[in-house]
Chain A
Amino acid sequence: MSTAATTASARRIAWQRRRRAAARVWSEYRRDVPGMIGLGLLVLVVLMALAAPLLADEGELRAVNAVGNPTWATPSEFAPLGTDNLGRSVWAQFVWGSRISLLVGLAATAIAIVVGALVGIVAGFFGGPVSSILMRLTEWFLVIPFLPLAIVLASILGPSVENIIFVIGITSWPATALVVRAQVLTLRERLYVERSRALGATRRHLLGRHILPNVSPLIVANLTLTVPVVILSETTLSFLGLGDPTRASWGKMLEESFAAGALTRNAWWYYLPPGIGIMMVVLAFVLIGHALEQILDPRLRERRS
């Protein structure tokens, strides 16, 4: 067989192996009840976010269009979820607000994971002065309390969705970096990496073939557990008035309901739905992350004696 043919078939074999591994993960995941519940919740929310234009008219979000509506209407007076202090439909805000929570959650997490994983891999793999500098940087970022930093950055950059994503992303990467670096360090010491090196493998080969595939499951698990933190951060930032004032979000609903006195009025239809929505999304990711962690992290597997 020619070398080209062997490379091609080797690649095909590798792909088949990956597909089988993925199938195995899925079949194990299917058996995890909380994990499936989490997945179900997530699918529900994503469907709602995608179907927002079908579920509620975007126009209803603007106060200008709500002039004719009764304010503080209960759900029985104004279907389906009543109105807020300006007469806007709470249901519309709820449905459209899901988009922001999901968007910020996923985008900010993506930034945090990419930066964190890069830093972690580089620091763990190359060691030496590079690692020390990166670790110091990570430590400094960890130490600066998230909320005050986010507040200040939001004040500088202005409240918009992109800025919020940026702010949360760059304050959330240290945790991932630490976890990834620890894993890379242990992997580096593994026998097969040493042997590979003895055989003359290049750094790129080691990174691509040995380190990356073994670090990826951990990154995936870490990803699903970072999303809850990010979503809760976005909610808190919006609540404090630093969110994007032009877009409906669940955090903003909570901020406005609180500021408008929904608590004393006990306008439950205004402050309950956003909180429940956030709880559902966060819980979904926690359950999924928990289930994935059990499956992907080899240390958590049952030891056979």
Chain B
Amino acid sequence: MTAPLLAVHDLHVTYAGGVPAVRGVSLELATGETLGLAGESGCGKTTLGSALLRLLPRGTRVTGEVLLDGEDVLNMKPGRLRAVRWTDMAVVFQGALHTLNPVRKVGWQIEEAITTHEPRAARVRPRVGELLETVGLPARRAADYPHQLSGGQRQRVLIALALACNPRVLIADEPTTALDVMVQAQVLALLEKLQQELGLAMIFITHDLSTLAAVCRRLAVMYAGRIVEEGPSDDVFRTPRHPYTAALAAAFPVIGDPGFRMRPSGLGGDPPDPRELPPGCSFNPRCPVARPDCARTEVELWPAGTDRRAACVRVLEPS
């Protein structure tokens, strides 16, 4: 069995001030594999994505291991880290207006990515044009400023930008969240196509479980800083083994309903405050099938079927 392209072992991320955002996450990603990371706002999925390239603010404590093709990312020297960023692993951020530098043309911003890693590159402008066309934008858009583009166009620019240095791993952090439904579908289709054509390994972070089921081969669900279920996406979506996943999968999204974004699980209540986590299973206060001993059991990701794991005591029972 070949070593995975990206391996994360027992990652803990604590923000300055003692707020634990990620509490012991482990995952693996093979070349060309797609992994979906789902959960509500505040579950730590974005933090996890940013941690992989050490993009968290100063003062944040990160422990554990992140291995990119065997190389230890967390302990890399700054120079090596900068070289690895974008060329091996790149991020597609959510395309809000200020994700791109407002006073520079978008073409310039893509050029910068290329020339940073290939200072003596030739034909940079044409390459930028080709990248834009790959994502479905006319090459002349390179001369536009971010505020002159629509939300969907900006998202495409961010995808083109992420591909500029031919990375092997792509982290897509909520790439379709700010877009309306029709554009969402287009951008998703684009990402799918590019991933297959370029053989990219991709981590797709979102709150929308149904999207993940279609685009990713494997699925991991996060809650309160931990992975609570993982496995092949179809299986997980159709037969969830963790009550939280079941709630996420069962929620019927209404088109254009912003409330869905805030509460994709359809469950009442809110995710716990990371500073005041409930004892035992973090989900137990909201769990519809919670049992008295859930508050006393330290849950782990136990096997829950072929190639599946879930952090719920119910998987320990014989079915």
Contacts and interface: CB of A to CB of B under 8 A. Distances in A.
Find out whether A and B make contact in their complex, taking CB atoms under 8 A apart as touching. Answer: yes
Interface of A: 305
B47 interface: yes
Interface string B11-53: 0000100000000000000000000000000000011000000
Contacts of A305: 15, 46-47
A305 B15 CA distance: 10
Contacts of B47: 305
- Identify whether the interface residues of B are mostly helix, strand, loop, or mixed: helix
Interface residues of B, number: 3
A40 to B, nearest CB: 28
Question: Which 3 A-B residue pairs are closest in the complex by CB-CB distance?
Answer: A305-B46, A305-B47, A305-B15
3 contacts: A305-B15, A305-B46, A305-B47
Contacts of B15: 305
Nearest to B17: A302
Interface of B: 15, 46-47
A305 B46 CA distance: 9
Nearest to B56: A305
A305 B47 CA distance: 8
A303 to B, nearest CB: 10
A12 B191 CA distance: 54
A305 B43 CA distance: 11
A302 to B, nearest CB: 10
A83 B173 CA distance: 73
Contacts of B46: 305
Nearest to B21: A305
B230 to A, nearest CB: 24
A305 B56 CA distance: 10
Nearest to B47: A305
A106 to B, nearest CB: 39
B109 to A, nearest CB: 23
A60 to B, nearest CB: 56
A305 B174 CA distance: 14
A305 B42 CA distance: 8
Nearest to B50: A305
B28 to A, nearest CB: 26
A134 B224 CA distance: 52
Nearest to B19: A304
B178 to A, nearest CB: 15
B30 to A, nearest CB: 29
A49 to B, nearest CB: 42
A110 B15 CA distance: 43
A305 B59 CA distance: 14
B162 to A, nearest CB: 20
B229 to A, nearest CB: 24
B270 to A, nearest CB: 14
A194 to B, nearest CB: 14
